[in-house]
Chains A and B, each alone.
Chain A
Amino acid sequence: MRTSRLRHSHVELALHRLRSGEGRPLLLLHGLGERSPAAVPSEAAPWPGPVFALDFTGHGESSMPRGGGYTCEQLMGDADTALAALGPATVMGRGLGAYVALLLAGARPADVRGAILRDGLGLAGGGPAPLTPQVVFANPASHGAPDGHALAELARDVRPPDYATAFLRQAHELSGLDHPVVVCARERPDWLVAVLQELDTEPMTAEAAIALYAAVC
């Protein structure tokens, strides 16, 4: 495994190459509080090209920001930084990483060649609308990755269904792919229900999703 350090604004991100190879890369995005796997996960093994995994800000080997301030839009910027280094890629995200993969598929429709949304921690975020206002604190005893602020703040990140589908529509209109986004997740928060309603593919297994995008030029 080789790790590159990428700069996203004030943060240094760790992008791990889990497997080298020719062709379009597969980029893995982990869930909330997780980190990149040390090796290619079995469901991604059939991917024909190289496999990379990104540690989000405040997770794994990426740098620890001072004073929190996490949003999923910022993490979309993390993933976009990886995309800038890799070129066009297929993105497979777990939980929080699945939501970020959807945002990125809509924001970079030419460069995300398929987004695979999987179960994982942080899939629901803070729900479809804000809860009672709160001052969000991290566990004062926590130190090191994952950042306590990330756990506290991203568990409240609001995900309105029509916000999620705005990104999906962009991916549909601008990616040129028949199926820019596929869902493998069994958990169904409101935003994902809305996404599924606008997809013309049924939920599928991760293996099937990998095969689908491996065949896309």
Chain B
Amino acid sequence: MKPSLEIDRSDWTDEERAAAAFPGARRPDRRRFVETHGLRLAVSEWGDERAEPLLLAHGGFDFAGTYDGLAPRLADAGYRVLSWDQRGHGDSDHADLYSWDADVRDVLAVLDSVTQAPMAVIGHSKGGAILTHLIQAMPHRVRAFVNIDGIPTHRPPPDVADHDRTRLLARELSGWLDARRSAATRVRKPGTLPELAQRRQRMNPRLSLDWLRYLATIGGRKDADGWRWKIDPVLRPGGFGPHRATWDLRRFASLPVPLLGILATEPEPMGWGTDPAELEPYLPESAHLVSVEGAGHFVHIEQPDRVAGMILEFLGTAA
């Protein structure tokens, strides 16, 4: 069967069709698959194919469609805007394995599908962290970097006694392993579009239900028994591992490309709680750091015009 990125809306209700529109949001002009090592990644593009390319990387548990607000604003300013669904997310294949190295290799496959020339790149949250790694590994592929609330921060461990910490970690580990034991047969709970939006609002409390319903029409799929998010049910928030944010932070000052850091100021569940004063000594001297008052972790969704304006001012007009 030929893979398709077309959405079949034949069995959608009028309400569901109505939810698939949101003021200021625009679906990509083109969508395609990039295949990498047997895995298909869904790529979205907005704007003129001959224009200067610019890449957007989404955060964990998101998908390229979460840029339906920001991307058209950048495309209308003259860029060919690209984004992709990370493995296991959106319309990309559910992978057998997930890791940091794999995500970085995947983004390179997306870049390779467009150009070998240095490209401007923008990443939100985990997407910013993936791009940070890519730039350090392949500086010649990037000309400028906008990091939206994805700069690592130095958070002290909670003040708990050693033996309590051991038990906390033990619970986290056995919970993770238990989930993996049942992962092969797990399916997400079906619901109506409003139910999916309400569930997501627990993690995105500052985003409107109208927007989240809109996202559910893209990041969700309608089956006979209801709507489900497409994301691989194996993926769970949190997790553990040897990685430390301070390792990334200490290398930040060496980033060899112009850097604009956009930070949220309102705390929320998915936020990183980055303190600009604490961050400043770790950044390259030439970096611009902007804290957006009154905006949470999804600052580009809350204030797309303002964020697009900052990005365009920083990157300049498309070549």
Q: Which residues of A contact B (CB under 8 A)?
A: 7-11, 57, 63, 65-71, 73-74, 76-77, 80-81, 84, 106-109, 129-130, 132-138, 149, 153, 156-160, 163, 166, 169-170, 173-174
How many chain B residues touch A (Cβ–Cβ < 8 Å)?
45
B2 at the interface (CB under 8 A from A): no
B97 engages A74 (CB within 8 Å): yes
- Of chain A, the residue at the smallest CB distance from B180 is A77
A135 vs B37: C-alpha distance when bound (angstroms): 14
Flag the segment in B24-32, B118-126, B167-175 that touches A: B167-175
Interface of A is mostly: loop
Q: A106-B170, A129-B247, A153-B102 are in contact. List 5 more A-B contacts (CB 8 A).
A: A71-B97, A74-B97, A80-B180, A108-B177, A174-B167
Residues 26-63 of B, flagged 1 when their CB comes within 8 A of A and 0 if not, give: 00000000001111000000000000000000000000
Q: Which of B130-166 contact A (CB under 8 A)?
A: 133-134, 136-138, 162-163, 166
B96 interface neighbour in A9, A107, A135, A173, Cβ under 8 Å: A9
Q: How far is the CB of B240 from chain A (nearest CB, A)?
A: 7
A74 vs B180: C-alpha distance when bound (angstroms): 9
B38 CB contacts on chain A under 8 angstroms = 66-67
Interface of B is mostly: helix
B234 at the interface (CB under 8 A from A): yes
B247 engages A67 (CB within 8 Å): no
B241 interface neighbour in A57, A71, A132, A133, Cβ under 8 Å: A71
Q: Which residues of B contact A (CB under 8 A)?
A: 36-39, 87, 93-99, 101-102, 104-106, 108, 133-134, 136-138, 162-163, 166-167, 169-170, 173-174, 176-177, 180-181, 183-184, 234, 240-244, 247, 251
Q: How far is the CB of B229 from chain A (nearest CB, A)?
A: 17
Q: How far is the CB of A126 from chain B (nearest CB, A)?
A: 9
A130 CB contacts on chain B under 8 angstroms = 247
Q: How far is the CB of A120 from chain B (nearest CB, A)?
A: 20
Q: How far is the CB of B22 from chain A (nearest CB, A)?
A: 33
Known: A81-B181, A133-B133, A135-B104. A69 touches B96 (CB 8 A): yes
B234 CB contacts on chain A under 8 angstroms = 9-10
- CB<8 Å pairs between A and B, sample of 27: A10-B97, A65-B95, A67-B39, A67-B95, A68-B97, A69-B95, A69-B96, A69-B99, A76-B177, A80-B181, A84-B181, A107-B174, A133-B133, A133-B136, A133-B137, A133-B251, A135-B101, A135-B105, A135-B108, A138-B37, A153-B99, A153-B102, A158-B242, A159-B242, A166-B166, A170-B166, A173-B163
